[in-house]
Amino acid sequence: MSGQWHLAQAWALVALPLPLLAWWLLPPAPVSAAALRLPFYRALLGSDRAASGGRRWVLLLAVLAWGLLVLAAARPQGLGAPLPLPLAGRDLMLAVDLSGSMREEDMAIGGRRVDRLTAVKAVAGDFIERRIGDRLGLILFGSEAHVQTPLTFDRQTVRTLLFEAEIGLAGPETAIGDAIGLAVKRLRDQPGDEQVLILLTDGDNNAGALTPLRAAELAAAAGIRIHSIGFGGEPPTGLEGFGLHLNRYPMDEATLQALAERTGGRYFRARDVRDLERIYAVLDEIEPVQSAAQTLRPVRELYAWPLAGALLLAALIAAVPTGRGGRLA
């Protein structure tokens, strides 16, 4: 809590002078004309003076108790530090290929050769950080597809689990259709109409029970857009060493493009890290995040404290002797 507070019903403070107004405006209680003559009247005067001090304390305690009751009615609240609210963005699922072909070291970061997955982590991690207001999910796929992170506003967790992913974790092959089908299953029942899948792969579908095009039909029926990214360096075109080098990992660009077209998305081809960075920048423009910041200040009700104080003072008032009704020796 930040230490700031306010009164949720400050108008209740108008009740503070009510006892004073009642004392001024209401007529005094009638006094009986009957009188009693006492031979020890002066002794009673002394005891009455001794009790008058107690009555003054009772009056002071009563005033404080009333003030605390009014304060409790005004509902004091403690205000915490402002917290950012999740914005009403879109549900965005990332599907990342972890098949064996992602081991190809045909990418460069800072002048150093790295494998394809390392390059994807570097660029996609920055993309995740920028998606403030979106619910993000992560699917990792190879021979099988798995939900690594369900839809969440916790971008840091999604980024961390992406960085912890290892090639071959889901098998050596590429089940693109199953990855799309799993994303459809997770996205189709979500409220709203802003469900997006970003599919990144460097190969063609060679595993799984669901074909990519059939999975795209399911996505289109559920209103899910697919932006597909074909990732990988240019395949070798000539002799390497003393023999012909064949492309070991063919990419089915026609299918990836059809996936995007059937669902209202776009297909991108990334041959290096710079291409991938530009693609994610374009995706930020195509699927913009909410820009208006919203915050929430946690509120803690404090009325119980003045209410408890008023009850304590009432108990003290009942315990203070006023000299009335006491026994005379």
Q: In this structure, is residue 229 part of a structural domain?
A: yes
Which of 43-57, 73-87, 191-205, 297-311 has the least mean pLDDT? 43-57
**pLDDT score at 243:** 43
Whole domain around residue 204: which residue ranges? 91-234+247-286
Domain co-membership, 262 together with 301: no
3-class state of residue 317 by DSSP: helix
Q: Which of 268, 197, 193 is nearest to 229 (CA)?
A: 268
Statement to judge: residues 270 and 123 lie in one domain: yes
Residue 9 located in a structural domain: no
Residue 46: pLDDT band by 50, 70, 90 thresholds?
low
Structure-token pair, residue 170: 């889901």
The total of structural domains in the chain comes to 2
Mean pLDDT of 245-272: 83
Q: Cα(130)–Cα(241) distance, rounded to whole angstroms?
A: 44
Give yes or no: residues 209 and 126 share one domain: yes
Segment 289-303, tens digit of pLDDT = 654 456 667 888 998
Inside any domain, residue 255? yes
Exposure string over 250-285, b if 16+ CB within 10 A, otherwise e: ebbeebbbbbbebbebbbbebebbeebbebbeebee
Same domain? 273 vs 140: yes
The identity of residue 34, as a single letter, is A
Q: Give the per-residue pLDDT at 239.
A: 43
Asked if 224 contacts 188 with a C-beta cutoff of 8 angstroms, the reply is yes
Does any domain span residue 183? yes
- Residue 158 sits in the same domain as residue 187: yes
Does 156 reside within a domain?
A: yes
- Asked if 175 and 301 sit in the same domain, the reply is no
Same-domain pairing of 74 and 96: no
On whether both 252 and 316 belong to a single domain, the answer is no
- Lookup result for tokens 């006492």: 38
Cα–Cα nearest to 282, from 293, 294, 268: 268
Cα four-point dihedral sign 217, 222, 223, 224: negative
Total Cβ atoms within 10 A of residue 248: 11
CATH code at position 161 = 3.40.50.410
pLDDT exceeds cutoff 70 at 53: no
Give pLDDT, residue 148.
Answer: 94
Statement to judge: residues 156 and 195 lie in one domain: yes
Q: Which residue type, as a one-letter code, is found at position 103?
A: R
Note whether residue 40 is domain-resident.
Answer: no
220 pLDDT more than 50: yes
Q: Judge whether 15 lies within some domain.
A: no
pLDDT at 38 over 80: no
Q: Out of 14-18, 109-113, 235-239, pick the least confident.
A: 235-239
Q: Are 265 and 132 in a shared domain?
A: yes
